[in-house]
Every structure is written in structure tokens, then in C-alpha cells.
Amino acid sequence: MKQHYGTLDLKEGASQEEIQAAYERLSKQLNPTENDNQEFFIEEYEKVQEAYKALTGHEQKRHNEVDAKPTEVSNLFEDSNSLVSILKKFKASENAKKIEIINYLEAYKNENKTYQQALAILYRKEDIERIRDAKEKDNVSNTKSENIDNIKIKEGKPIKSPIKKSSKKSKKLILGTLVILSLIFGITYIYFIIKVNDFKNEIPYIIKQSEHYQNNSRQIWETKFLENHPEIVNEHLNDETNKGFSFSESDRSITKDSLISFFVYSKIFSLELYKPDFFECVYYNSVNTYNYWNHYTVGLDENSTKKSSLLLYLEMFKKISNKYNASEKEFEDLIQIVGGLGVFHSVKRSKIDVKCKECINNYQMAYEINNIAINDFYVFTEEYITHKNEIDQHNKSFLLEFDNVYNKLTAGMNEPLKEKLKSKLEEESYPKKNQESSSFAGSRGGLGNITYSFDKYDDNLLLLNEYADNTYTKYYSTNYLNTGDTPYSYCYGRNPYCTPLYGYAECSFIDIRASNSSDVVVIVKKNNRVYAHAYIRAGGYYKFKLGNGDFQTFFYYGNGWNPNKFIKITNCGQILGGFVNNESLDKSEVIRLYNSSMSYTLYTVEDGNFTPKKSNKNEAF
């Protein structure tokens, strides 16, 4: 796209109006019909049309080209310095004049935009360097010619043009060389084609011969298998495994490349041939496979003749089961943790197995029992089961504690509330289990390093209290008591009531006026023990009728009353009941009342003289 802007002598990103103006100007200047239909103007005109179409998506109707007689180019410096006249002048000039025009344009290009455009077109279209070289050669040639003419004139001899004579010997040598090379390459190519055709004719025979050799090998090794391994044959009489001598047809052949070359010519042929040692490998694969599965990976040694003895796998299970009272599933799990049954055997490295592994896909290598791995397994099992018992004991103790706390927290809940709490615990997957990882360092050549893990309960029960509180909060957010109720009377007893013989003059009083934004439980302590308490609704009023003495008043604020909320444990047992939202605790100073009264207004008043201090549940209850 950038080159199209350059063709129209515009900067990249020019507007549509600028593109249209540049197109109209250049189309007029470069119109071939106005410039003698010269090839140069035809090509430049075509580029302008392509650039305009690419940048606008429109295609303008082109000017008709007509034959016209070439006109004489006017002098560049005396007639017109338009772009067209400059290009015409250049095209019609000899090399010397062309160089003069280029030099002039270069000298004054900074002062004239038309000169810049002309230079850009000429450098893009014309080979300026070639024109300059041609001019220098002409100058040298003219100088030599003048010198020769001067010499001839002085000697009085006629002037003759120098004529370069061609070498006949060189032409003959080149022609002879070409003939010889043609003969060499032609003859060798013909011989190469003969070799290729001969090999093509031999391909069917080569394939047939490889198949014949493989079939003879099959007869030998299949007969040997039937004679030497009747136990395998008898086990596979009624299946489709060719009596245990099984193989896949796709494994029988192999693709091999054959290169035919002569001199500089070569050709590669890909042939599907039959593997010569295939059935030898089928024999060993069948035997190894039978031994592998018949002994359940860790079976009897090959030389063992005690058929009545337990397979080693069963011996291992018997030991683990008797020592740790492990079930068959637990034993299988242990086997999988250490890497499966395959870890208890090691491959016998033999030349035949290495060769056959390349010949047959999924070839079963011969193996031998890995006694180091078996000994490691017994040590690992003891370590694993010990660790597992510790985790199981922890989880059991945690669940007992969890159930105990859960029962206490839900003791006063109704069934709908309990269901909400259960749903919350299930949603949060609580109680949570974390994976505790451990590792076993096995012997080199045995089991090696083994990493395993157990699920262990996180013993943090604070979340259970939090989930229960949240459940209560939602359920009791609009619940409240009546002014004057005593929610903790089961522990602190009934409030005292002053009824002296001679009237209230011998009693003391504490008046409470609650704010409109919060309910409050007021606790009056005498001699640092709860003496009286009462629930007051927001905006309510209550009067404590007390005897005489030193009193301190606590203010427990909040909204939404949960009768089962745990506050603290005191000498009378658990204190239950509290606010679910916006809890706070304040206290007054200790005051002495003797046949007098004290009023507390729990909201801001003008000229008030009561400023409560912060407190906490342990101090207040």
C-alpha cells in the first residue's frame, strides 16, 4: 500500500481529496496520447491508474490512446519546466545530455517540487548508473580515436577503423568440449536408465524371495514352539492365538529404501520386504508373554519345579495380611502405590530381546524377579501402615470433637435451621480434609523413592462456630425481646425489687433511655457481680429499682436476638443469648447510690455529662 502512495507522490495516510487531486494531475501529465504514445508514459500512466484503484477502490475511465507524430522536445531551460516536458527532454536526449539533466535536477531539487517528482520517476524507471558508465566509455573511446587519427595524419597514412578478429581456435575448442560433455552425460544417463529398469524388473523377485525366506523360518520356529512348549499350546487350543504362537500380520513386513546410482544420477526405491528374523522373535515373544502373565509378574523362578508352592505374589499377600490384618483390596492399593506389579521384576538384557524389540511392536522382554524391590516393599508397607494408623486416629478424634461442638451449637435449633446449617457445611465442604504428603526412600535398584499422601482433617473448629453464627444471623436478624425481659435469669436470677417500709425514699434507682437505632441489654453489677439486667427495645425506657450500694452499669447493644448464641461460661454454666448484628459493649463508671437515682440516656443530648467507655463480654457478663 505504501508504494501506491509513492506512485501518486503522496505521504502515507493522505486524504481522499489529496488522492483525487494527485490522480487527476498525474493522469493529465502522463497521458500517453499527449506524449506520442511513448512506452515510458504508457507504463507510468498504468501505475497511476493502479495506485488510484488500490487507494480508493474506484477505477477511472482511461484516456484513449491514439497514434500521433512525435513532436520536437523543447529546451528544458528555455521553454517549460513542467514534469512532462522534463521527462520528454530526458527520453529524447543522448547519454551525455541525460546526465546533464539529472545533474541539473539534483542541483535544484530542493527549490522545485516538480524536479523532485521528475527525479523520483527517472531513478525508478531509468538505469542512471548505466547511462553514466556509457558516457564515460564514450569519452574514453573518443579520446583514443582522436589520438589514432592524429598519428595517422602525421604519418600521412589513410585512416582505417580498427576491426576485432574472432578466434577460430577458441570456437572449435568450445564446440568440441560441448560435444564431449554431451556424449559423457548422454551415455552415462542411458546406462543409469538401464540399471534402473533392471532393478525394477528384479523387485518382484526380491519381494518373493524375502517372503519365501520368512516362510521357511516360520516353519522352523513354529515347529520348535509346538514341541518345546506344550503347556502354552494346551492353554490356547480353543482361542484365536494360533495355539499361543501369535503375531500380527502388520508386523511381518518392513519398508526399506534401495538407492540406485551411477555417475551424477540417482533414484530411490521403497520396497515392502518381509523381516527375515520375524518368526524367531514371535517364538520368544510368545514364551516371554506366557511366563509373564502365568506367574502374575512375580511368579516362580524359571528353574523352579515346585508347582505346588505359592506364587510369589500370593506369598507377599499372605505375609502382609497376617502381619497387618490387611484385606486383599488394601494389599492391591499398596501394590499400586509402589508402581504396580511391574516393579517386582527386572528385564533380562539379552541380544535376542534387543533385536526383537525392534522387530515386533509391544515385544515382551524376558524378566527375572527383583528381590531388592520385594524387600523394599515389606519395609515400605510397615512405614505406610504406621503412618496411616496415626492419621486415622487423628481423624477419628477430630470427628468426635466436631460432633460434640456441632451438637452444642445446634442444641436450641429447630429443624429448618439445622437443615440450613447442614446445607452450608456441605456447600463449604466442611469439615475440610488436607493432603499430608510423605515419602519413602527405597533402595537403588529396588523401589526407589516413593511419594504418597493421606487425607487429614483440619482440626480448626472455629469455622464451625462461624458457620453456625452466620446461620443464626440470617435466621434471627429480625428477632427481638420485649422491654423488661430478663434473658439470663436462669443464671443470674430475678431482678431485685426495692419495697421499703417507709416508701421509695429508702431505695435507689437507675433509669435507662435507649436510642432509636439499637436494642440494648443493660447489666447492673454490684460488688463486681451481676445484680440486675433487662432487655430494652430501641427507643424504649426502663427503671431499675435497687437498694443502696456501689453500682456499675454495662450496655450490650445490637440488633436481631439469637437466644442460642454462646456468650461465655460462668460459674452457673453457659451464658446463651445475644445479638446477631451490630454488636458493641460500653460501660459506665462505678457510682455510689444511697436513696438516690441515676439516669442514662443512650443517645447524644445537649449538655450531656455521660461518656461511656468500651468494654467486652468477659467483663460485662
Instruction: Write down the pLDDT at residue 30.
Output: 80
Query: Are 440 and 515 found together in one domain?
Result: no
Instruction: Write down the pLDDT at residue 330.
Output: 93
User: Which positions ≥6 away from 196 have C-beta within 8 Å?
Assistant: 260, 267
Residue 103 sits in a domain of what CATH number? 1.10.287.110
Q: Write out pLDDT tens, residues 466-502.
A: 888 888 888 888 999 999 999 999 999 999 887 665 5
Instruction: Write down the pLDDT at residue 74.
Output: 39
pTM to 2 decimal places = 0.45
At residue 544 the predicted structure's pLDDT band, cuts being 50, 70 and 90, is very high
Query: Are 598 and 489 found together in one domain?
Result: yes
Higher model confidence: residue 349 or residue 499? 349
Query: Are 511 and 613 found together in one domain?
Result: yes
Query: Are 228 and 272 found together in one domain?
Result: yes
Final residue belonging to a domain, choices 134, 162, 192 = 134
**Would 410 be classed as within a structural domain?**
yes
Name the residue with cell 477430630. Answer: 398
Final residue belonging to a domain, choices 433, 465, 497 = 465
**Would 342 be classed as within a structural domain?**
no
Q: Which long-range contacts (CB under 8 A, 24 or more apart) does 566-575 make?
A: 566/409, 566/465, 567/617, 567/621, 568/617, 568/618, 568/621, 570/491, 570/621, 572/490, 572/491, 572/492, 573/491, 575/488, 575/491, 575/621
Final residue belonging to a domain, choices 269, 294, 319 = 294
- What is the overall mean pLDDT for the chain? 83
Q: What is the DSSP string of 69-110?
A: PPPPPPPTTTT---HHHHHHHHHHS-HHHHHHHHHHHHHHGG
**Would 329 be classed as within a structural domain?**
no
**Would 359 be classed as within a structural domain?**
no
Instruction: Write down the pLDDT at residue 162.
Output: 43
Query: Are 210 and 288 found together in one domain?
Result: yes
Max Cα distance, the chain (Å) = 175
Higher model confidence: residue 80 or residue 210? 210
Query: Are 106 and 199 found together in one domain?
Result: no
Instruction: Write down the pLDDT at residue 212.
Output: 94
Q: What is the phi/psi pair of residue 30, to 5°?
A: -100, 10
Query: Are 14 and 113 found together in one domain?
Result: yes
Query: Are 496 and 607 found together in one domain?
Result: yes
Question: What is the C-alpha to C-alpha distance for residues 606 and 609, in angstroms, rounded to an integer?
Answer: 9
Q: Write out pLDDT tens, residues 189-227.
A: 888 899 999 999 999 999 999 999 999 999 999 999 999
389-424 in b/e form (b: 16+ CB < 10 A) is: eebeeebeebeeebeeebeebbeebeeebeebbeee
Give, in order, the Cα–Cα distances in Å from 98 to each of 32, 39, 86, 291, 303: 21, 18, 10, 96, 103
Q: What is the phi/psi pair of residue 128, to 5°?
A: -65, -40
Strands 519-526 and 591-593: unpaired
Average pLDDT over residues 85-109: 79
136-145, 157-166, 247-256: least confident range: 157-166
At residue 173 the predicted structure's pLDDT band, cuts being 50, 70 and 90, is confident
Residue 563 sits in a domain of what CATH number? 2.60.40.10
At residue 67 the predicted structure's pLDDT band, cuts being 50, 70 and 90, is very low
Q: Write out pLDDT tens, residues 359-377.
A: 999 999 888 888 899 999 9
> For the chain, what is the domain count?
4
Average pLDDT over residues 582-596: 93
Query: Are 13 and 108 found together in one domain?
Result: yes
User: Which positions ≥6 away from 205 have C-beta within 8 Å?
Assistant: none
92 has pLDDT over 70? yes
Query: Are 459 and 496 found together in one domain?
Result: no
Considering Cα of 472, then 477, then 482, then 486, what sign does the dihedral take? positive
Enumerate the β-bridge partners of residue 546: 508
**Would 52 be classed as within a structural domain?**
yes
Q: Write out pLDDT tens, residues 144-159.
A: 444 544 434 344 444 3
Q: Write out pLDDT tens, residues 373-431.
A: 999 999 999 999 999 999 999 999 999 999 999 998 887 778 888 898 999 999 998 99
Query: Are 102 and 214 found together in one domain?
Result: no
At residue 228 the predicted structure's pLDDT band, cuts being 50, 70 and 90, is very high
Query: Are 584 and 532 found together in one domain?
Result: yes
**Would 608 be classed as within a structural domain?**
yes
Question: What is the C-alpha to C-alpha distance for residues 145 and 166, in angstroms, rounded to an integer?
Answer: 21
**Would 107 be classed as within a structural domain?**
yes
**Would 484 be classed as within a structural domain?**
yes
At residue 504 the predicted structure's pLDDT band, cuts being 50, 70 and 90, is low
The domain in which residue 528 lies consists of: 477-620
H or E element: which one contains 608?
A: none
Q: What is the phi/psi pair of residue 189, to 5°?
A: -65, -40
